[in-house]
Structure 1
């Protein structure tokens, strides 16, 4: 609720600033139109440069108040068209703000007009109710005009259809290459775990059984060691299988899988799960591996005493946050985090790592659920 109120107040400030810049747009609009017609006036460059500077101011305003990223680069034809089309939304924004102010004034009459005109309740009620209605419409009008401003900026400053499609193709090609590389890295890690762990256990087990056959007087002791090696090999094999894919994810869902991660960790892991409805299985799988890898890194490298895992879903977006109180300094380009970034990118998600020296380290993944 507080964040929504802050966004609305920023939108009000953005419309107010837009009304001010609209005053500068008013004289430039006909000048830009004339500058684009033949024969070209000698002052065309100055007019178009002024239009470009005004467009830069507008883009900065949109980025500051309405959350619309401001494109960079030299002003192009889109800046001229935007200046010509900007006047309408600017006037509309001023009118909405005026209606908002009038709504506040008239709505407040329900509180104080009784003392001024106690014998005229009809006037008090009609003025107050009309003010409340006007205030309600103006509040929503602020959001509507803000959305119009953003769409207008995207229309003139955003990439064209062909460019946007090409960028999307490049992103998909890069994410596919990243997924292939992540699969290869995972296979190499599994092979290393099997070779250095389970395989060595099985070799030791075979040697113990061979010695037990040759030395009957030490058979009991050697067989006891063999049983211990067998248990350890099974535990390591189970660990490798768990890293490949946790069966509990299919059997009991993501909460149970994350609880198992918390139980297996050698340090306290606090799990905060606020997901009202399950996400798609592919999203839950990536969320699980994000948590598992982040907790593993915290155990191995951070020197943390506590890890907090938070999962939240807002509409069609699942946010996974893993924070530890360790020493910080994690390298986002490390093998494990790079593999996670590729997994997340394969779902059009975003992975961020914040790990200043001294900590804390926060790994945050935003996964689309649509």
Structure 2
């Protein structure tokens, strides 16, 4: 439940008085309709039909209460949430009891106001002594305090029961959170395994093959009897070793960039721009230190998105924007390629899992024909 604006006290007071009237209607509904349908609710053959009739009226009363909370208290509830029959009946029972009790408290306030008027009249006419006046004022102040506290507590209970009926309860929210954490944990484990397999594949198919070729070149140079041929083989081996170092550096950057620890996120993204074969424009608007997990996730969002754009999108330009707005970091990567990114691929699935593990959200917009925009929102609190 959320609240758009804080309503004025007269408006809330009118809502409380109207709640007393609706509580009376609910209590009468339970007494009259419940008593009439009682025998049919006890008989198994007619129980379902009688319960359906009872719930039809109960849902109308609950709708009336929802309108009252929205109109006089400014509450907003989830539109598509459907409460169970048990929650509706429980809410109406509690609402009827608290509403009638609230009516009694309001009646006592009115009665106290009448007595205060009589007390003032006695003071004006001089028929009331000072000792009796002091006693009446003391008792009246205590009763007024208790009445106001009772109204405040009943209003808070009314808001709490409405929140539990018209939206997910704390138990349901907790269960939903547990399910989300279990799902994100499984996704993170799967993404880590996929990343390990990719690293192993890069080392086996790339670095290892090039090292084998390097060993063969050095071996041929050692066995050669022609000095010129040996020099050529050694030159070729030297060039191959430079290629191996470059590929090892690329693999290491994909595992974890050392610049992220030593220089920060902005410099690490600058390293991505230097290694990218496509012109890449960056905009970094962060004026506060970021948590380390958020920095890491933001870097991999940029790195993976830029790598995918360079390999698969036929893009001619890429733009990267990183901005901190309050306690939320927004990372946006956009290219002018052909679009049609596969959201179920291992790369984007791993990014989604990495972002979800930090309670973030990853949005992917990649229509056919482009452009492709990947936006990650990461909470920093």
Q: Of 146, 154, 174, which aligns to 1:165?
A: 174
1:180-219 matches, within 5 Å, as 180-215=189-224, 216=226, 217-219=228-230
Q: TM-score, normalised by structure 1?
A: 0.69
- When residues 190 and 36 of structure 1 are mapped into structure 2, their CA distance, relative to the original with a 3 A threshold, is same
Q: Provide the aligned C-alpha RMSD in A.
A: 3.8
Tell me the distance in 1 between the aligned counterparts of 2:319 and 2:234.
43
Q: TM-score, normalised by structure 2?
A: 0.67
The secondary structure found in structure 2 opposite 1:284 is helix
Instruction: Provide Cα deviations, 1:27-46, integer angstroms capped at 9, x if missing partner.
Output: 75543332234761657444
Tell me the distance in 1 between the aligned counterparts of 2:198 and 2:337.
25
The secondary structure found in structure 1 opposite 2:374 is strand
- When residues 227 and 153 of structure 1 are mapped into structure 2, their CA distance, relative to the original with a 3 A threshold, is farther
- When residues 154 and 267 of structure 1 are mapped into structure 2, their CA distance, relative to the original with a 3 A threshold, is farther
Contact 1:55 1:79 in 2 (8 A): no
The secondary structure found in structure 2 opposite 1:271 is strand
Q: Of 251, 260, 280, which aligns to 1:249?
A: 260
Q: Deviation at 1:303? A: 1.3
2:260 is aligned with 1:266: no
The secondary structure found in structure 1 opposite 2:363 is strand
Q: Deviation at 1:235? A: 0.2
Tell me the distance in 2 between the aligned counterparts of 1:66 and 1:300.
50
Tell me the distance in 2 between the aligned counterparts of 1:359 and 1:28.
56
48-57 vs 350-359, which moves further = 48-57
Contact 2:218 2:237 in 1 (8 A): yes
Match of 2:353 in 1: 342
The secondary structure found in structure 2 opposite 1:40 is helix
Match of 1:333 in 2: 344
Instruction: Provide Cα deviations, 1:151-187, integer angstroms capped at 9, x if missing partner.
Output: 8864432333333222222222211111111111111
1:109-258 matches, within 5 Å, as 154-215=163-224, 216=226, 217-258=228-269
Q: Deviation at 1:308? A: 1.5
The secondary structure found in structure 1 opposite 2:375 is strand
Contact 2:83 2:165 in 1 (8 A): no
Structure 1 portions without partners, runs of 5+: 1-7, 13-17, 89-148
Query: Which structure is larger by alpha-carbon Rg, 1 or 2?
Result: 2
